[in-house]
Structure 1
Amino acid sequence: MNYTVMAYTRRENRELESAMHLAAVLENGSLQPLQNGTGILFAKAEFNEGPLCGTTKILRKPWVFRLKDGAFGVVCLRRNVGGGLEPGKENCVLIFTSPDLLSFREEGLIPAAPEGTAVADVRCQWDGKAGLYQLTWSDGTGYYTSSSPDLTSFTGMEKTGSPEPRALVKLSDGVDGCLISLTQEEYEKVLRRYSPVVQTGCLPVYCKAAPGERVSLPEQVTLTYSDGSLKPMPVKWEPFSRTLPGVYSVAGAVQRETWPFPFLEERADPTVIRYRGRYYYMATDDGNGQTTLKIRGSDTISGLAEAEERVIFTANPEGYMSGCLWAPEPHVVNGRLCVFFAAGNPHWYTVQCHVMVMAGDDPLDAASWQTPQRCRTIEGGVLCPDGITLDMTCFTVGQVPYVVWAQRVMRLEEQEFGNSDLYIASVDPEKPWQLTSAPVCICRPSYGWDRVDTTVDEGPFAVRRGDDLFLTFAGSSVSVLYCVGLLHAKTGSNLLDPESWEELGYPILTSESVPGQLGPGHNSFAKDEFGNDIVAYHAKLPAADGHDPGMTNRHTGLRPVHWDAEGLPRLDMTPERELSPGFQIQAVVEITEAPKE
């Protein structure tokens, strides 16, 4: 079998299309787009040029090649959005390195041609005989070759003939193809990472019992998945009462909960929490002007859909906290239930983070909640005096509670906005609105996927699995382009050090992830009744014409989280992928012969 993938971009010179995409080359020569057809490698923005929010960059004409050590390099052209040249940098090529085509390191822009020459196409390969990397580039009129021992600089400029044409991308809008041959192991790793995970079977279930002995079938079975991952699931077995010696088959049914989309209409930024044995739900109230904080409670997750909605806080008639009550998140801090939310005064460009602590016993009773407190720095000042703060979340590692929030500088008179960046700090467990450390930026909107229409990272939420701490966040504008990114850290690291956090670099949930749901984002995590992780998020249903239906059509969705073979959270797990339709579980039960006297 030929293990080959194709790297390519899409036709438009826009943020999302101008990234490196991958497709598997099948045995019949057809292409299977990976990662749901979205990009996996994006050029980083330049924050030190252009407007306050920096300048978004795109990449074109990617070329994947083998490094001297057998790993991978990617050389491409960097452009401004729309395909415009970068003045003074048009002679440069952008280089990445990667051990496996799963993670990438941007090495930077490297001059490849004389100053003032606009490089129009590029290729690269390692020449073992010469001990040099040979870079072939075009200025649009002819091709030239430059060389480098280590990809840090290129020398020489020899005219050469035209290289072989790029591979034809047999996809509707694919261009600039490049084929790369992989080993079987490399190919399988790439497909595992970038393909949907689907259930394939179940680990065998075998029980043995003596005549008259009670047969004890397991309460859980372990389902197997296409990437090699496993997932324990509760099961209900058919009654079994055989007593004669023999080998028997017993049917079982996986027990799980599924939820329709929408789970709740016109509710965005949802959070589900289990507190004192019950489930509670809060979300931005898109259906009523975003001026109330509402909560629902139920013994089950499904029951939240029909539970009575109680108002626990209403925006003031005017002035301070008189509008834009956004993204209420209930969290337990030091044993007390708290709600983190943003409030406007009243406009969206004035929202600031607040915390409301429950002093009573009933989360559904407004009288149980104390007056909201605005979040304060360690010195007692406001978090962002020249901008907005919002979407604050909270998690505890060890005995230390941390908060992460989105923060954006707003220069209203100049009509200039900064980036919405993610900040982290520790807080006082007795006063969770009070920071106990300096705010530290751990993530900025750096790529095309979180800089479309607006340069925003927001809606952070943490989920822990063993020593791995993942922080999801929403990127881009609140439209069909809204999507989810991922940060990762180890719980034993210094979480207040930006170097402890690693960003995946591409979105893990987009409009392409699950058909019929547009702009999924601003998610949270919870445990279902069986102890499995679920994700709550908002998305939109397409309008009749297929376009964006608008802001008030953000709806809450729920679905299971699947932990893949690499230990990464998959947020695109549908009921059909989690459990193949028609799949039957069969246990083998052996009743042994009675021992002879």
Structure 2
Amino acid sequence: MSQDPIPNPIVLQRADPCVLRHDGQYYFTGSYPLYDRIVLRRAERLEDLQAADEVTIWTKHFEGPQSNLIWAPEIHRVNGAWYIYYAAAEIGHPHADVPDTAETFCHRVFVLECTDEDPMTGEWVERGKVDTGWESFALDATSFVKDGTQYLVWAQQDFAIRGNSNLYIARMENPWTLATEAVMLTKPELDWEIERFWVNEGPSVLQKNGKLYLSYSASGTGPEYAMGVLIADAEADLLDPASWTKSQEPVFTSAPENGIYGPGHNSFTEDEDGETVLVYHARTYTEILGDPLYEPNRQACAQVLPFDAEGNPVWGTPQPMSRPVPTALDVLPPEGMTEVAPA
């Protein structure tokens, strides 16, 4: 196990962090505070990501379904190619149920592909929207490959179920097309999942010790934001909801004693020794000035995730920041940023 804690934050002001380790390099992406582009960084060590050059590999459209609020990109490697899954909305999208109104949060899931060896300099091609089977608020897609089969897990709203989003899984025909119908794995229902907002979102999948751990985040994005987990046996039918066991209590929550609030929207990677690393975002204060949507101080953090003698993860608590971070009073709206009220 690594001897020294990973210096946090690993990247300042990048929510929804995703880290992929490939060929000895760490690739990092996350939500850009202006929500208008997708960026990548690369470094040999997690602690070097903050100082690494950031490259913009895609920018939002001037109009249409990918013209607003670009959220939560994730980078994945599938069959020798690079893929980025992200959510995008449309400026002034008409609300499906209320004529003559504009729906701000009308996100859908989209895919970029790069078949060049270097994703930092290669060409990224739009593969379009993932057809999830119905039209509603959809975001936070993640992907994993098991036994040669690719799966997609994402958050989406079902108007017949109370809440903003549930988690769904499907097998994929190719990295931008589903091969099976969406299957719901979890919905917000437990007390800790419905504080301020009824939300299950931000899934990520870890394959370890003969099991699959599907982490996710729930509730509003303030101090109440927390992580839960679904667990399935590696040999189970992953498209059968009965194969997954849901934690009844959160596994990763705010740690006021360490000055960390609202940890969540995680991804998994590993350190140079092969130890599992939990990557997540968190805030260091609770009083947010201005519109929370555009408050940029969700910091990307990482810490080793140990396992006990039975092979189960010991989630622990978010560790204190060891690098300087801005305070609420330091925050000024970035240039070009405007406030948007929730729909």
Judge same fold: TM > 0.5, yes or no: yes
Residue 348 of structure 1 and its aligned partner are, at CA, apart by: 4.5
CA contact (8 A) 2:12 2:50 kept: no
Return the alpha-carbon distance in structure 1 between the equivalents of residues 280 and 46 of structure 2. 14
Partner of 1:156 in structure 2?
A: none
Confirm or deny that 1:285 pairs with 2:32.
yes
Match of 1:560 among 304, 308, 311: 304
Structure 1 pair 297–494 and aligned structure 2 pair: CA distance change class (3 A): same
SS of the equivalent of 2:177 reads coil
In structure 2, give the amino acid aligned to 1:525. Answer: F
SS of the equivalent of 2:105 reads helix
Return the alpha-carbon distance in structure 2 between the equivalents of residues 485 and 575 of structure 1. 18
Structure 1 pair 417–344 and aligned structure 2 pair: CA distance change class (3 A): farther
Partner of 1:364 in structure 2?
A: 120
Partner of 1:375 in structure 2?
A: 130
Q: Percent identity?
A: 32
Return the alpha-carbon distance in structure 2 between the equivalents of residues 407 and 344 of structure 1. 14
Return the alpha-carbon distance in structure 2 between the equivalents of residues 328 and 513 of structure 1. 28
Match of 1:353 among 109, 113, 123: 109
Give per-residue Cα distances to partners, 1:104-147, cap 9 Å, x unaligned: xxxxxxxxxxxxxxxxxxxxxxxxxxxxxxxxxxxxxxxxxxxx
In structure 1, give the amino acid aligned to 2:75. Answer: P
SS of the equivalent of 1:384 reads coil
Match of 2:10 among 263, 274, 280: 263
Match of 2:79 among 329, 334, 337: 334
Partner of 2:151 in structure 1?
A: 402
Match of 1:393 among 142, 152, 175: 142
Residue 410 of structure 1 and its aligned partner are, at CA, apart by: 5.7
Give per-residue Cα distances to partners, 1:252-294, cap 9 Å, x unaligned: xxx53433333222110101111233110000112xx111100
Residue 465 of structure 1 and its aligned partner are, at CA, apart by: 1.1
Return the alpha-carbon distance in structure 2 between the equivalents of residues 397 and 356 of structure 1. 21
CA contact (8 A) 1:406 1:458 kept: yes
Structure 1 runs of 4+ with >4 Å offset: 573-576
Residue 575 of structure 1 and its aligned partner are, at CA, apart by: 7.2
Confirm or deny that 1:432 pairs with 2:175.
yes
Return the alpha-carbon distance in structure 1 between the equivalents of residues 257 and 118 of structure 2. 37
Give per-residue Cα distances to partners, 1:27-73, cap 9 Å, x unaligned: xxxxxxxxxxxxxxxxxxxxxxxxxxxxxxxxxxxxxxxxxxxxxxx
Return the alpha-carbon distance in structure 2 between the equivalents of residues 316 and 393 of structure 1. 22
In structure 2, give the amino acid aligned to 1:464. Answer: Q
Give per-residue Cα distances to partners, 1:378-401, cap 9 Å, x unaligned: xxxxx431x111100011111111
The gaps in structure 2 that reach 5 residues or longer are 92-102, 321-343
Give per-residue Cα distances to partners, 1:78-102, cap 9 Å, x unaligned: xxxxxxxxxxxxxxxxxxxxxxxxx
Return the alpha-carbon distance in structure 1 between the equivalents of residues 47 and 180 of structure 2. 39
Return the alpha-carbon distance in structure 2 between the equivalents of residues 503 and 419 of structure 1. 19
Residue 573 of structure 1 and its aligned partner are, at CA, apart by: 5.5
Residue 491 of structure 1 and its aligned partner are, at CA, apart by: 1.1
Match of 2:277 among 512, 534, 553: 534
Return the alpha-carbon distance in structure 1 between the equivalents of residues 319 and 106 of structure 2. 41
SS of the equivalent of 2:168 reads strand
Return the alpha-carbon distance in structure 2 between the equivalents of residues 339 and 257 of structure 1. 31
In structure 2, give the amino acid aligned to 1:501. Answer: W
In structure 2, give the amino acid aligned to 1:373. Answer: G
Return the alpha-carbon distance in structure 2 between the equivalents of residues 341 and 441 of structure 1. 20
Match of 1:316 among 61, 66, 69: 61
In structure 1, give the amino acid aligned to 2:107. Answer: V
Return the alpha-carbon distance in structure 1 between the equivalents of residues 53 and 177 of structure 2. 33
Return the alpha-carbon distance in structure 1 between the equivalents of residues 162 and 251 of structure 2. 27
Task: State TM-score, norm by structure 1.
Answer: 0.49
CA contact (8 A) 1:561 1:573 kept: no
Confirm or deny that 1:384 pairs with 2:134.
yes
In structure 2, give the amino acid aligned to 1:330. Answer: I
Partner of 2:47 in structure 1?
A: 302
User: How does 1:192-203 map onto structure 2 within 5 Å?
Assistant: none
Partner of 1:571 in structure 2?
A: 315
Return the alpha-carbon distance in structure 2 between the equivalents of residues 558 and 348 of structure 1. 31
SS of the equivalent of 2:242 reads helix
Return the alpha-carbon distance in structure 2 between the equivalents of residues 330 and 456 of structure 1. 23
Confirm or deny that 1:507 pairs with 2:250.
yes
Residue 565 of structure 1 and its aligned partner are, at CA, apart by: 3.7
Return the alpha-carbon distance in structure 2 between the equivalents of residues 450 and 461 of structure 1. 17
Structure 1 pair 324–575 and aligned structure 2 pair: CA distance change class (3 A): closer
In structure 2, give the amino acid aligned to 1:316. Answer: H
Residue 559 of structure 1 and its aligned partner are, at CA, apart by: 0.8
Bigger Rg, which one: 1
Q: What root-mean-square deviation, in Å, do the aligned CA atoms of Structure 1 and Structure 2 show?
A: 2.1
In structure 1, give the amino acid aligned to 2:241. Answer: P
Return the alpha-carbon distance in structure 2 between the equivalents of residues 371 and 356 of structure 1. 5
Task: State TM-score, norm by structure 2.
Answer: 0.83
Partner of 2:223 in structure 1?
A: 480
CA contact (8 A) 1:384 1:409 kept: no
Give per-residue Cα distances to partners, 1:178-224, cap 9 Å, x unaligned: xxxxxxxxxxxxxxxxxxxxxxxxxxxxxxxxxxxxxxxxxxxxxxx
User: How does 1:171-186 map onto structure 2 within 5 Å?
Assistant: none
Return the alpha-carbon distance in structure 2 between the equivalents of residues 508 and 573 of structure 1. 9
Kindly tell me the number of residue pairs found equivalent between the two proteins: 305
In structure 1, give the amino acid aligned to 2:114. Answer: M
Residue 419 of structure 1 and its aligned partner are, at CA, apart by: 4.2
CA contact (8 A) 1:419 1:444 kept: no
